[in-house]
Chain A
């Protein structure tokens, strides 16, 4: 059984703000963790509510993002979406770490600066 992982984007980084993100990376992985599909979605506008809708519509299992308001964080958690927030770093690196099971909330991934 595969799952979908959504990474909020700001250029090639994880977006620092969930509510202001206007682009997301949607990656589908199979049961073994291998990537089977990758989509870059450009959003019509930045909106935390709309992004939550998208996450639920697409049946996303995991969200990797930067700062997120408590209200949206708890809403997604309530909807059984895993949220790894407070991540500062390149989106590719964050995704790779997640797939290796090494990404923690609040991770600061910029090289030589990790303090988690």
Chain B
């Protein structure tokens, strides 16, 4: 380290300043006015893989190799000259690539050091390794992502495998499956994996309402109450994806307009005379059997065939076999992280209860159960008493072996059926 700068830094003749800097738990680089490297402390040597001897006099951009070095270095002007000292001082996050070809997230704070007369002496670049924080952030954001679809059974694996290709295709998609199986998540995933991902994802719930109102809601109005054109859901989804969460709720008249929209890629707003060109991908879902709906006259046959070009069926949880155990573990981890609790697993009895339940509400019900259990569990292991009452009801009758005590039942139809032993 340059002794003159060192002396000026401390105002004293202190030869131990490098040792002091090296004792700091974060990386420190001392740079001259041209941002050439004078000194790296031990933490930064470890982070970058370079020793001070290797890189003394080398421009810091070749040592730190930070994302902030090439574009927007806080201490260099556009022309590459050193900027005024007061231009430094702010913190910024980025990455560096070290000598071992590892990309490391870091936070850089550049601090200009001035002498007593206010003259620039050197810059201290302080780098904090954010790897651990970023890892945790990524883990939590992935776990907590609302669009996250998980599953290990053969059907789900097949579905997840073809999902990216279907998403890329741009064709209309029909999603079928019982309530709580994840149709909404699948629709979001289709949008997220599609080239339209940066555009809008508009969800439409065609709840019963006067047809004229629904028409305006869906297809817009040429002239709204304020005299201005009022965009409908389809216009709002321009270039993006429109998700019809229950196609059976849509009146037949609107189904006809939707069919024309799919064919002509244009829509005529209510009260308008000029069709508006639309580029919208339609994803429709239903919890019922679409063929039965067509027979019952609830779904137009031509629209059904148009949507049915790509059909994805989400199986109910009771048909997903090993996924129950996998999903229990998945949501336990997710909610333990979310609630910052050290809940590590289920007791044997709780596991037996959960494994023998039919989950008429499918994944949504399982997820809610685990959320509740993690919330009320005070220790590391979820016990039967931490599960919702309707699930542990048979245990309250005095049975000791949960699996044996559960009465055999048929296929569940209600949302709150007591647990039963699996065949």
Chain A interface (Cβ < 8 Å from any Cβ of B) = 10-11, 13, 15-21, 66-70, 73, 85-86, 88, 106, 108, 110, 112-113, 115
Q: How large is the interface on B (under 10, 10 to 19, 20 to 34, 35 or more residues)?
A: 20 to 34
Residues of B near A11 (CB, < 8 A) are: 80
Contacts of A15 in B (CB 8 A): 70
Cβ of B56 under 8 Å from chain A: yes
**B103, A69: Cβ atoms closer than 8 Å:** yes
Does B390 make an interface contact (CB < 8 A)?
no
- In the complex, the answer to whether B70 meets A67 with C-beta atoms within 8 Å is no
In the bound assembly, the distance between CA atoms of A113 and B50 in angstroms comes to: 14
| CB-nearest residue of chain B to A15 | B70
Looking across the interface, which residue of chain A has its beta carbon closest to that of B69? A16
Q: Is the CB of A69 within 8 A of B97?
A: yes
Verify A16–B70 contact, CB threshold 8 A: yes
Interface majority SS on A: helix, strand, loop or mixed? Answer: loop
In the assembled complex, which residues on chain A have CB atoms less than 8 Å from the CB atom of B417?
Answer: none
Q: Give the residue among B54, B65, B96, B98 with the most A Cβ atoms within 10 A.
A: B65
User: Which of B57, B70, B80 has the most CB atoms of chain A within a 10 A radius of its CB?
Assistant: B70
Say whether A67 contacts B59, CB under 8 Å: no
Q: What B residues does A19 contact at CB under 8 A?
A: 97
B-side interface residues toward A, CB under 8 Å? 53-59, 61-63, 65, 67, 69-71, 80, 96-103
Contact across chains for A17 and B97 when beta carbons are under 8 A apart: yes
* B65 x A17 contact (CB < 8 A): yes
> Contacts of B58 on A, CB cut-off 8 Å?
88, 108, 110, 113
A70 touches B54 (CB 8 A): no
Q: Please name all residues of chain B whose beta carbon is closer than 8 Å to the beta carbon of A18 when the two chains form the complex.
A: 97
A20 to B64, CA, bound (A): 14
| CB closest residue in chain A, given B37 | A113
Using Cβ atoms and an 8 Å threshold, which residues of chain B touch A10?
A: 61, 70
CB pair A110–B103 under 8 Å, yes or no, is: no
Q: Which of B62, B67, B101 has the most CB of A within 10 A?
A: B62
CB neighbours (8 Å) of B62 from chain A are: 13, 16, 66, 88, 108, 110
A16-B69, A20-B71, A69-B103 are known contacts. Are A113 and B97 too (CB-CB below 8 A)? Answer: no
A88 to B80, CA, bound (A): 17
Name the residue on A nearest B103 (C-beta).
Answer: A69
B97 partner residues in chain A, CB cutoff 8 A: 17-19, 67-69
